Structure 1
Amino acid sequence: MKIAFSPCPNDTFVFHAWVHGLVPGAPELDVLYADIDITNHLAASPGGPEVLKISYAALPWVLSEYRLLPCGGALGRGNGPLVLTAGEKSGISSPADLSGKRVAVPSERSTAYLLFRLWAAQQVPGGLGEIVVMPFHEIMPAVRDGRIDAGLVIHEARFTYPTYGLSLLADMGVWWEADTGLPIPLGAIIARRNLDADRIAGWIRQSVDYAWAHPDASREYVLGHAQEMDPAVAQAHIELYVNKFTSDLGEEGYAAIDALLGRAAREGLVPAIDPSALR
């Protein structure tokens, strides 16, 4: 079975058992490790992998071919994207100062981007300036060097941005949770509609359960794909993004997804969907 997910610690932790043949009855996986911006585009292309990790922001474009699985993805609290600046030298001390400024984002089809645009609609009178899409790993250096006024960052950047001398302007997770009371829907696991979604979800849950029962078993695999990430940062990444919603979205998870995509559709950021299509 062809599957695509990121090399980030949370994904490799979740899928370690299945990838290594430790889930009884599960088919062998042919894995493509790719940034979520790449998997978002793969899901919208003919002949994409059978199972993928994508951003929830990309889900409305692919629901005709793929169904959302109720497990394996990333939702949670305290793990939102951050808006960073170069501090005092940037001249940006409040959200209002972003009016007309150039902001770098890792993707325009990402939950981070949707959250940022929804936040900016409330917090940035006059509107944003140019949105510049650039690879995730280039954003913090660009902000530090003054090539970009502010940057929207994700993943382990919440732990490492001080090493670049950057300052936190706003935490999209704090804003979202205060505004909605719901967790943030970040990454979704989807499977082609001609497949047995219940069986695939069962194999993913077994892989998650194995990861939790044997937390050290995946260490070498996780760090081998973590791009020289410090082991402590990799572990913090896992603890932040792998939680009860990874095992089962539950009613709270589905409510969060519906809230994000519903708001984004009303802002014209994504196509409107019928909430029943999520289940």
Structure 2
Amino acid sequence: MKPLSLGYSPCPNDTFIFYALSHGVIDPGDLKFDRPHLEDVETLNSWALDHRLDITKISCHALGHVSDEYCVLAAGGALGRGCGPLVVAASAIPVADLAGRRVAIPGRLTTAALLFKLFQPACTDLVEMRFDRIMAAVRRGEVDAGVIIHESRFTYGEEGLTCLQDLGQWWETISGQPIPLGCIVARRSLGDAVIKRVERTVAASVDYGFRFPEKCLPYIRAHSQETAPEIVENHIRLYVNDFSRHLGDEGMAAISVFLQRGRTAGVLPPGAEGQLPLFACHLGEER
């Protein structure tokens, strides 16, 4: 079969997860992969809309737009508790006042954007920018507040910013579910058998990272926005967990509830899950 195209972000959790697969230290069997594309998650989200890659990391928000073309792998996802996006500002602002303010979001298809729209639906003056530019834009007064993700969670205090709302904590309170940030998806056109082999390969890559984290670190640090060892380690510890090994019933339920909330709010289109299984592990038997 032809090599499969693969994309993931340069963030430490993704480079941790895909180190073994991308460096050929696990056996993928008869699968072959092209050189991976490392791109900002919003770029990967937009590529998924165009069905550009065979296997890719995307935001769970973006999943709500592409579930007819992609299904979710049980391994490699970013879900958890206490790890959601934060709304920050240069000074304390009552969250009720955000409705009349300019707020930066890290891309329209990010989970952070959907969470913020659910949290503050009256706030419509949203400014899209790369996640690593948001804190500086808030400091300079270009926007009144910003929704930050990734390593920014660990450094916003050093930038003199104030947290107005932890959106992950808010989500956990209203839903009782862990926050589904991102997932790994595969094109349905690959076929059930290939998708399940890809899922096992990604799971093996995750397992390698847990068993030999020190071997992954040079690759992780080479691509991380933040190079301080403690920030890289905190990032991995927060975003790579048992859900990354396998979503399980709890992880799958969290993603399903998140998508349904987005549809009920009118942010997401009607889903394809009624006709197509959302998760790879629910596909037909491998032959």
TM-score by length of 1: 0.93
What secondary structure, in the 3-state scheme, does the structure 2 residue paired with 1:217 have? helix
Residue in 2 that maps onto 1:34: 39
Inter-partner Cα distance in structure 2 for 1:63 and 1:131? 25
Inter-partner Cα distance in structure 1 for 2:155 and 2:226? 13
Identity score, percent? 45
Residue in 1 that maps onto 2:61: 57
**Corresponding position: 1:84 with 2:88:** yes
**Corresponding position: 1:191 with 2:174:** no
Residue in 1 that maps onto 2:283: none
Inter-partner Cα distance in structure 1 for 2:33 and 2:254? 32
2:68–2:272 contact (8 Å) kept in structure 1: no
Matches within 5 A, 1:199-214: 199-214=197-212
Inter-partner Cα distance in structure 2 for 1:20 and 1:95? 45
Inter-partner Cα distance in structure 2 for 1:257 and 1:274? 14
Inter-partner Cα distance in structure 1 for 2:259 and 2:126? 20
Q: Deviations over 1:112-136 (max 9, x none)?
A: 1111111114xxxxx2141111111
Residue in 2 that maps onto 1:23: 26
What secondary structure, in the 3-state scheme, does the structure 2 residue paired with 1:173 have? helix
What secondary structure, in the 3-state scheme, does the structure 2 residue paired with 1:212 have? helix
Which of 160, 164, 169 pairs up with 1:169? 164
Inter-partner Cα distance in structure 1 for 2:148 and 2:136? 11
Matches within 5 A, 1:1-279: 1-24=4-27, 25=29, 26-46=31-51, 48-88=52-92, 92=93, 94-121=94-121, 127-195=122-190, 196-275=194-273, 277-279=277-279
Inter-partner Cα distance in structure 2 for 1:239 and 1:179? 25
Inter-partner Cα distance in structure 2 for 1:45 and 1:219? 32
Amino acid at match of 1:3: L
1:10–1:242 contact (8 Å) kept in structure 2: yes
What secondary structure, in the 3-state scheme, does the structure 2 residue paired with 1:194 have? helix
2:67–2:273 contact (8 Å) kept in structure 1: no
The CA RMSD measured in Å over matched residues stands at 1.3
Q: Deviations over 1:181-203 (max 9, x none)?
A: 11111111111113211100100
Count residues in correspondence.
Answer: 269
The alpha-carbon distance between structure 1 residues 158 and 194, as it changes in their structure 2 partners (threshold 3 A), is: same
Q: Which runs of 5 or more structure 1 residues have no equivalent in the other structure? A: 122-126
1:71–1:205 contact (8 Å) kept in structure 2: yes
1:74–1:188 contact (8 Å) kept in structure 2: yes
Inter-partner Cα distance in structure 2 for 1:102 and 1:227? 25
TM-score by length of 2: 0.90
Q: Deviations over 1:128-151 (max 9, x none)?
A: 141111111111111111111100
